[in-house]
Structure 1
Amino acid sequence: MGQADGPESDKARERIIETASRLFASLGYDGTSAQTIADAAGLGIATVTELAGDKRDIYLTVMRRNYLATQAILDSAFTAFTPDRAGVLLVVDRFLDFYIDHPEVPELWIHRWLSDAADITGVEAQFLKPLRDRVNNAIQGIVSPDADVKVTTETIVWCVRGFVVGGMLTPEGEPHGPRNIVYLQRFRAYLHQLVTRLLGLDG
């Protein structure tokens, strides 16, 4: 049995991926070295490479895990989905709640907006497009004929990522994010209004 096999190796591999996810979300892929991941995980660089691969391999594992987690949330939402305004808002709420519970996911995607990991191509096509297509296809038939479903979906994602990561400014200029219940309720109400109007679901 090699070092990369067995329960202890599985635990170590999991620690590597979880550690890398936090570091990539905080520092970006380009700002995180394989040695930094190894040090933060409390392992030697050779062990990290044997158990999880090089930095690129680890990054793709992190992004795939986030994709699967998001897919699971959509699975749950679409189980209860109804082809009407309430069903669409259910999906939107589940997406918002998922990002609130896992802020590292929007942080990772925002880093890619800023050209982080630009040498790793195809990530959006592999891990974002299938999710977008699923949502777009589910709601296309129940919205106003002149609604631009694809742009609306992107707008929802932009808004939710921005709120979860950056928050909203108070009148005094202080940022408050989703941990502030007042601002969360205000943002959720606005998001419902935005979606309803852009998709023509208000009657």
Structure 2
Amino acid sequence: MSAQPADGSSRERILAAATRLFAERGYDATSTRAIGEAVGLNIATVAYHVGGKPELYRAVMRRAHLTQRDVVVEALERLGACGSSPEETRAALLGFVDTYLTFCLNHPEVPALWMRRWLSEGVDLAEIEAEIAGPLIARVASVARGVLDRAGLGAGVDVEMLVFTIVFTTHSFGQAGVIDATGQRVGPRDLAILERFRRHLHGVVNGVV
């Protein structure tokens, strides 16, 4: 493996490999050497492009966050612009939930990274929640609270907990699916199960608001 800095695509290749390995194995079980080997580079070259393991992990999480944030912010703009009637508001909230579910299914590495953190992976890097997760969750809850108030809905709803409920269940379903009556694990590629889960999420939102 070359010890010299590689071409301009090396950083992206390193980040892509690190994203996959951190999502699959977690922060603690993934070494910089393993990431380098995945892209045919040595540790020195990896460090040249992204720094040490903590810096690499931060870069991975920020990269995943930006991908997620772009989708969420666009969906929030549509939600905030919805009509003020209860029917229009509920439909817009369900549209937001559907957008987030689709994102999680199309980018399974992002929920996987966050679920690893829920298990205290990379616990020493607690600033990630403060810099990344907290502000976006607060923004979602604020917009949702605003459209509910405008429509005269959900006066007693803990919107932040509703957001967490959607996030936790969507991430878990996308990663693990469900267990059927025979004990077999059935994931979101089963369209019937996916539709059942989507209807369930819709029921949760409609039942609360």
Amino acid at match of 1:62: V
How many residues are matched?
A: 194
Contact 2:177 2:187 in 1 (8 A): yes
Offset, 1:110: 1.0
Among candidates 110, 113, 124, match of residue 108 of structure 1: 113
Contact 2:13 2:39 in 1 (8 A): yes
Matched, 1:51 2:56: no
Partner of 1:176: 186
Question: Is the partner of 1:9 in helix, strand or coil?
Answer: coil
Could you tell which deviates more after superposition, 21-30 or 141-150?
Answer: 141-150
Q: Distance in 2 between matches of 1:145 and 1:9?
A: 56
Could you tell which deviates more after superposition, 137-146 or 72-81?
Answer: 72-81
Contact 1:9 1:51 in 2 (8 A): no
Among candidates 136, 139, 149, match of residue 141 of structure 2: 136
Offset, 1:9: 2.9
Matched, 1:148 2:158: yes
Partner of 1:62: 60
Partner of 2:202: 192
Where do 4+ consecutive residues of structure 1 move more than 4 Å? Answer: none
Q: Distance in 2 between matches of 1:93 and 1:15?
A: 31
Q: Distance in 2 between matches of 1:192 and 1:132?
A: 19
Could you tell which deviates more after superposition, 25-34 or 84-93?
Answer: 84-93
Matched, 1:124 2:129: yes
Among candidates 31, 34, 46, match of residue 33 of structure 1: 31
Question: Is the partner of 1:29 in helix, strand or coil?
Answer: coil
Deviations 1:24-66 (A, max 9, x none): 0000000000000000111111111001111111100110011
Offset, 1:171: 1.4
Contact 1:23 1:32 in 2 (8 A): yes
Unpaired stretches in structure 1, ≥5 consecutive residues: none
Offset, 1:113: 1.1
Contact 2:76 2:140 in 1 (8 A): no
Unpaired stretches in structure 2, ≥5 consecutive residues: 84-88
Q: Distance in 2 between matches of 1:161 and 1:167?
A: 10
Q: Distance in 1 between matches of 2:8 and 2:110?
A: 23
Contact 1:99 1:106 in 2 (8 A): yes
Offset, 1:75: 2.5
